[in-house]
A = this chain, B = another copy of it.
Amino acid sequence: MVVAEVRVELKKGVADPEGKNTLKALELLGFEGVKDVKTVKVFDIFIDVDAGHAEKKVEEMCRKLLANPVIHNYSIKIK
């Protein structure tokens, strides 16, 4: 059993309203020095394959389902 951590984040220049609103909320709560907040979606995928094939398989999942190539970058970590 392999756990693949897929990190799907927005490409540079794509608006991140959730991050911006979190930043505003932190400021309203009185936190100082916060310059920016970025939100990232992570999928922990539990797969029953050997580690050697896992990365290729998860890469395909990203292309077909998990990430939108127009707005997302993704990275895969096999644990």
Contacts and interface: CB of A to CB of B under 8 A. Distances in A.
Count of identical protomers in the assembly:
2
A29 B34 CA distance: 41
A65 B1 contact: no
Interface in A24-51: 25-26, 29, 31, 33-49
Interface of A: 1, 7, 19, 22, 25-26, 29, 31, 33-49, 57, 60-61, 64-66
B40 A44 contact: yes
Given A39-B44, A40-B42, A40-B44, 18 more contacts: A1-B35, A22-B43, A26-B45, A26-B65, A29-B64, A31-B61, A33-B49, A34-B46, A35-B48, A36-B45, A36-B46, A37-B44, A37-B46, A38-B43, A38-B44, A39-B41, A40-B43, A41-B42
